[in-house]
Chain A
């Protein structure tokens, strides 16, 4: 009796050991690893992307379908009515237009001022250059919240309250962008600058014909970041803009919210989706560049 028992136990252990070995081989096999990786990536990508998915299908459904329980993970009936309603009956297009105007003018103005300033600080001999740059470096760490308080009263004093210009002006002078662009300009050869001057080119010409084209990637990055910041800015417009007509997109979206549950969910979703589209297009077209720009910025800290 004894011996047969011990023999049975033995077989068990051996069996488990063999199974373990096979499992380990499967797990460490490179193909299995790949499958696991792809699965993990897909699962997490889906999780991160889920809100967007939810936004999409919510915007495409009718109010009744959205409030059924349990919620539909796939839309049963699709309708485009929400979009039509939102576009026709609300001021969404107006908000969109405001945002477009503000962002584009803001980007252009800021870029212009930044280019001129970065040029002056690199190639032109500005007395006290070091001091100015030192001051700029200290200004960088300032949180924008510190400036809000006074800028608000400045805007009021200038009589620009409720004016789109108020959304543009405070951000035209950006220490951050000038410093970045300055770094990019510094890399450009001084000898070429000297040669251009000797050839009789004016500073203006040199700046726009030579220096700027050389720094295209940085300039594009600045434009992108600037556009994003401007488009998505929320707190400042909320402070400054009073009338509905002049609201920018993020601020304007708030009008879709009434009381909490009485909020017309499907319309809000549709409006949000529409609001998201311009940035979505921006992202899809500049994805690689954008990611590269952020990587570089992140590593410099």
Chain B
């Protein structure tokens, strides 16, 4: 009798808890390593003078934020990241667009070309970063020797603070090209080929077809890609470690992520600053995303306003 009662109970309740059995590992990990950190980071950012060892802090306020925005390194980080983004994203996109249109012609030997163009996708920045470091080498680097052919003096790429940003930018462009090219190529290939046939009947040149058909139809993808690249250009870290062993030759090349990393390792009070900096990063990402959503809505609805006003009239 007892057994049947229990069995009934179990049969009744098992289906109800079953979903949770499946879901629980996931929820557990997400709670511990995603949700909790977010909340804690937000709260840490506002706990002023948070002492990592004791857990004591000096009241809730904007102190940490004030601190980082006063910090020379953090300001340097924002400046650098912005410069980097401004240089890497547009140039990278233009080059990727060019490559994508080349690859769109569907010539033979795709395997070889795909390997050559897209290999950087899977390589860790550290591994390939060393080659770049070697190539940038002031004394033996390949880059300098090529430049010397044109009569340019040797540049101490990695030691001269004037050129150190350029090295990161060049690497950034090179490593962003594969992903951008793939995405752009796929967008290009999704355009109905018949559009081009009609344009050809109108005796349109390749350039005109690109400008009036290809580019406009790819705009949504281009915009998304631009934002993705923008966001990731604020997260530069690996190559700094590989090229300079730190944020630039004279610590002049900070990025936000580097700042966070350093703050976490230094002293007992850095945690608050690190948290605040990561919040700043998050706010930036969030606003960029929202901006993207807004732009998409406007882009998709352009031209429709006219109709609506006519209907109301």
Q: Which residues of A contact B (CB under 8 A)?
A: 34, 37-38, 40-41, 44-46, 48-49, 51-52, 54-55, 58, 66-71, 112-114, 116-117, 119-121, 124-126, 135-136, 139, 141-143, 145-154, 169-173, 175, 178, 203, 228, 231-232, 234-235, 238-239, 249-251, 253-254, 256-257, 260-261, 265, 268-269, 272, 275-276, 279-280, 282-284, 287, 290-291, 294-296, 298-299, 301
User: At the interface with chain A, which of B1-9, B125-133, B209-217?
Assistant: B125-133
CA distance A274 to B33 in the complex (A): 33
Q: Which residues of B lie under 8 Å from residue A265 when comparing CB positions?
A: 134, 140
Total interface residues on B, CB under 8 Å, equals: 96
- Contact call A154/B37, Cβ cutoff below 8 A: yes
Given contacts A48-B117, A143-B281, contact A276 B123 (CB under 8 A): yes
Given contacts A120-B22, A143-B278, contact A41 B37 (CB under 8 A): no
The one of A119, A148, A251, A272 that contacts B264, using a Cβ cutoff of 8 Å:
A148
Q: Which residues of A lie under 8 Å from residue B26 when comparing CB positions?
A: 113-114, 116-117, 120, 173, 178
User: At the interface with chain A, which of B72-80, B86-94, B97-105, B160-168?
Assistant: B97-105
B189-231 with Cβ < 8 A to chain A = 190, 221, 224-225, 231
Q: Which residues of B lie under 8 Å from residue A51 when comparing CB positions?
A: 128, 131-132, 135, 174
Q: Which residues of B lie under 8 Å from residue A68 when comparing CB positions?
A: 140
B148 on interface, CB distance cutoff 8 Å: yes
Besides A169-B33, A232-B125, A234-B238, 18 other A-B contacts (C-beta < 8 A): A37-B105, A37-B107, A44-B102, A51-B131, A116-B26, A145-B260, A146-B41, A146-B281, A147-B38, A150-B41, A154-B33, A178-B26, A235-B237, A253-B130, A261-B137, A269-B130, A279-B123, A301-B224
B258-279 with Cβ < 8 A to chain A = 260-261, 264-265, 271, 274-275, 278-279
Cβ of A92 to closest chain B Cβ, rounded Å? 12
The one of A41, A52, A272 that contacts B130, using a Cβ cutoff of 8 Å:
A272
Q: Which residues of B lie under 8 Å from residue A112 when comparing CB positions?
A: 25
B177 on interface, CB distance cutoff 8 Å: yes
Q: Which residues of B lie under 8 Å from residue A256 when comparing CB positions?
A: 130
Q: Which residues of A lie under 8 Å from residue B260 when comparing CB positions?
A: 145, 148-149
- Contact call B34/A116, Cβ cutoff below 8 A: no
CA distance A276 to B116 in the complex (A): 15
Q: Which residues of B lie under 8 Å from residue A142 when comparing CB positions?
A: 34, 38, 282
- Contact call B33/A145, Cβ cutoff below 8 A: no
- Contact call A145/B119, Cβ cutoff below 8 A: no
Q: Which 6 A-B pairs have the closest CB atoms?
A: A173-B29, A298-B183, A295-B186, A117-B26, A150-B37, A232-B124
The one of B23, B29, B237, B238 that contacts A169, using a Cβ cutoff of 8 Å:
B29
CA distance A249 to B125 in the complex (A): 11
The one of A124, A153, A287 that contacts B19, using a Cβ cutoff of 8 Å:
A124
Which of B18, B190, B245 has the most A CB atoms < 10 Å from its CB? B18
Given contacts A37-B105, A276-B127, A295-B182, contact A283 B122 (CB under 8 A): yes
Q: Which residues of A lie under 8 Å from residue B125 when comparing CB positions?
A: 232, 234, 250
Cβ of B246 to closest chain A Cβ, rounded Å? 12
Q: Which residues of B contact A (CB under 8 A)?
A: 18-20, 22-23, 25-38, 40-41, 44, 52, 99, 102-103, 105, 107, 111-128, 130-132, 134-135, 137, 139-142, 145, 148, 158-159, 174, 177-179, 182-183, 185-187, 190, 221, 224-225, 231, 235, 237-238, 241-242, 245, 256-257, 260-261, 264-265, 271, 274-275, 278-279, 281-282, 285-286, 289
- Contact call B134/A139, Cβ cutoff below 8 A: no
CA distance A179 to B148 in the complex (A): 53
Cβ of B311 to closest chain A Cβ, rounded Å? 31
- Contact call B185/A149, Cβ cutoff below 8 A: no
CA distance A142 to B139 in the complex (A): 42
CA distance A97 to B208 in the complex (A): 54
Q: Which residues of A lie under 8 Å from residue B119 when comparing CB positions?
A: 48-49, 52, 280, 283
- Contact call B183/A149, Cβ cutoff below 8 A: no
Which of A68, A251, A284, A298 has the most B CB atoms < 10 Å from its CB? A298
Cβ of A295 to closest chain B Cβ, rounded Å? 3
